[in-house]
């Protein structure tokens, strides 16, 4: 109904009384949080906790393509997959949601549209789609990102309302979910599986019809997954219509109040909502005279109550917009505030993965621009307050430490746009030493009267023409050879490119 345009556009190339929120996180908690995330995770009330019982926040990005006829994440026709993951990490995204279709589990399915020239993606040559997924999971883990696997479609042909089709029956769906849970058993980079993307009409919640009741199907599939790996989180999306009230596909979790998902293993359910703006489809609430002040009530009604009543964690697995209209801009600002800024609430917050990393999502665009390299700093900037620390690196190789060598870094200053009255720029910090960085600081001096007007992914001070910027909580740790970035707006334009010094610890 709402999403005939979105998903694989590039084949080749919805009131219950609410409890008051928990108290804000204190500074000491935030310090502990920076080290949180190791091992497998579980739930406790509305929070997700790591293996040591420390709260974590999923603050991530969707990278799609495995669910399409390319059978692999998109953009590898342009860049090396490692550089993509490094860039995600440098921007402060700590989790990857990777959509896939059951096609990639068919024997012999191989990816296409991967560029191997100039040494790009060299270690992916000759691999099946599943083997490429293995490499992406492994490298993401090395970079300190977690992964949620999203069963997006039964096949690459298109989205389905139900979790099964004539060609891909429920038995195949469950068998494939079990196969993936088995494949990544013991690899705690993969912290859970999103059972099926965007169930919608005629899917129901709590109607009792086993052919249509998504809640019952999620229990069957979730128990099958947990029978293989009881440590995984089970992410369960909503439906479209509950009690005659309709919303976004997968975005209506009103039924949870009466019919919660009950699994054989406790503390494993995370409910997932999707929410979009007018660039995807018009909804009645966008034209309400009180918009956007009406939106928190809408979100409370459809899915926010689950978090606010301490029933379970809530993950907004998809939300996005082109930001082309003022309505969309106001919607995104309101939603980000509703999700609870990390600086105020820490990990006692909603979880999220933005749609999408890819620029080739036709009704939302992406964090990357069409060149698959340049960051849309405006869109990324909207998300700055809800980003969260990354997680301890895992897996073999990469990361690097040692030898007692001094930490070192270099910094590169790039102007991305300059319109005379102002400009946008980025500073990329690279770990040039032989030991991992825990923090960094950069400084530069302009030759003119330029002033920073706003900055993201770092905090700053300016004295005269000299600017000093210090990493944010989420991007201070940089592995050997890795990088992190800050972005900012300034005025006036025409300031040129000053030299930048970088100090590492």
Per the annotation, the verdict on 29 as an active-site residue is no
Q: Which two tokens stand for residue 308?
A: 């606010």
Catalytic residue, from 67, 237, 318, 426: name it. 318
SS3 state at 53: coil
Q: Which two tokens stand for residue 300?
A: 């409370």
The pair phi, psi for residue 180, each rounded to 5°, is: -70, -40
Is beta strand 59-62 parallel, antiparallel or unpaired with respect to 351-354? parallel
Q: Which two tokens stand for residue 121?
A: 């993606």
Per the annotation, the verdict on 318 as an active-site residue is yes
For tokens 């820490």, what's the residue?
346
Stretch (H or E) spanning 139: helix 129-142
Length of the chain, in residues = 505
| Rounded distance between C-alpha atoms, residue 370 and residue 343, angstroms | 32
Instruction: Judge whether 114 and 108 are in contact, CB under 8 Å.
Output: no
Catalytic residue, from 198, 231, 237, 426: name it. 198
CB contact burial 179-203 (16+ within 10 A = b; e otherwise)? ebbebbeebbbbbbbbbbbbbbeeb
The pair phi, psi for residue 193, each rounded to 5°, is: -130, 130
Q: Which two tokens stand for residue 7?
A: 């998903």
Residues in Cβ contact with 306 at an 8 Å cutoff, skipping those fewer than 6 apart? 46, 253, 256, 271, 312, 314
Q: Which of 400, 477, 472, 475 is closest to 438 using CA atoms?
A: 477
Cα angle vertex 446, ends 444, 447, to 5°? 140
Whole-angstrom CA distances from 65 to 100, 120, 151, 164, 369 are: 7, 18, 12, 20, 16
Orientation angle between helical segments 129-142 and 81-90, nearest 10 degrees: 40
Active site residues: 198, 318
């Amino acid at each position: 109904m709402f999403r005939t345009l979105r998903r694989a556009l590039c084949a080749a190339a919805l009131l219950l009384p609410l409890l008051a929120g928990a108290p804000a996180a204190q500074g000491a908690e935030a310090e502990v949080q920076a080290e949180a995330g190791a091992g497998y995770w579980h739930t406790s009330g509305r929070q997700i906790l790591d293996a040591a019982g420390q709260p974590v926040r999923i603050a991530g990005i969707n990278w799609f393509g495995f669910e399409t006829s390319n059978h692999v994440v998109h953009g590898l026709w342009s860049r090396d997959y490692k550089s993509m993951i490094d860039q995600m990490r440098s921007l402060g995204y700590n989790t990857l949601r990777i959509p896939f279709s059951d096609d990639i589990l068919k024997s012999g399915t191989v990816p296409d549209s991967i560029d191997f020239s100039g040494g790009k993606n060299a270690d992916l040559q000759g691999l099946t789609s599943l083997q490429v997924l293995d490499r992406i999971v492994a490298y993401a883990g090395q970079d300190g990102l977690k992964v949620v696997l999203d069963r997006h479609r039964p096949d690459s042909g298109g989205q389905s309302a139900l979790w099964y089709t004539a060609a891909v029956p429920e038995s195949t769906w469950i068998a494939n979910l079990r196969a993936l849970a088995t494949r990544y058993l013991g690899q705690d980079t993969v912290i859970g599986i999103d059972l099926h993307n965007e169930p919608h009409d005629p899917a129901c919640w709590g109607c009792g019809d086993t052919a249509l009741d998504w809640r019952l199907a999620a229990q069957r599939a979730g128990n099958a997954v947990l029978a293989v790996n009881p440590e995984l989180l089970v992410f369960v999306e909503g439906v479209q219509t509950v009690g005659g009230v309709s919303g976004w596909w997968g975005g209506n979790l009103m039924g949870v109040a009466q019919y919660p998902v009950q699994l054989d293993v406790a503390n494993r359910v995370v409910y997932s909502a999707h929410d979009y703006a007018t660039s995807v489809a018009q909804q009645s609430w966008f034209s309400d005279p009180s918009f956007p002040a009406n939106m928190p009530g809408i979100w409370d009604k459809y899915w926010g109550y689950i978090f606010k009543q301490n029933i379970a964690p809530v993950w907004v697995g998809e939300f996005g917009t082109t930001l082309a209209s003022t309505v969309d801009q106001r919607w995104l600002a309101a939603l980000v505030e509703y999700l609870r800024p990390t600086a105020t609430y820490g990990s006692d917050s909603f979880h999220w993965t933005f749609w999408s990393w890819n620029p080739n999502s036709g009704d939302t665009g992406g964090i990357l621009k069409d060149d698959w390299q340049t960051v849309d700093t405006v869109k990324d900037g909207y998300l700055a307050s809800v980003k969260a620390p990354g997680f301890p690196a895992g897996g073999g190789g990469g990361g690097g430490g040692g030898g007692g060598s001094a930490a070192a870094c270099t910094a590169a200053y790039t102007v991305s746009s300059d319109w005379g009255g102002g400009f946008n720029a980025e500073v990329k910090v690279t770990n040039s030493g032989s030991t991992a960085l825990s923090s960094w600081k950069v400084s530069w001096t302009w030759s003119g009267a330029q002033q920073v007007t706003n900055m993201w992914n770092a905090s700053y001070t300016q004295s005269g023409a000299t600017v000093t910027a210090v990493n944010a909580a989420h991007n201070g740790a940089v592995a050997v050879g890795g990088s992190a970035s800050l972005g900012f707006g300034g005025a006036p334009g025409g300031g040129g490119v000053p030299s930048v010094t970088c100090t590492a610890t």
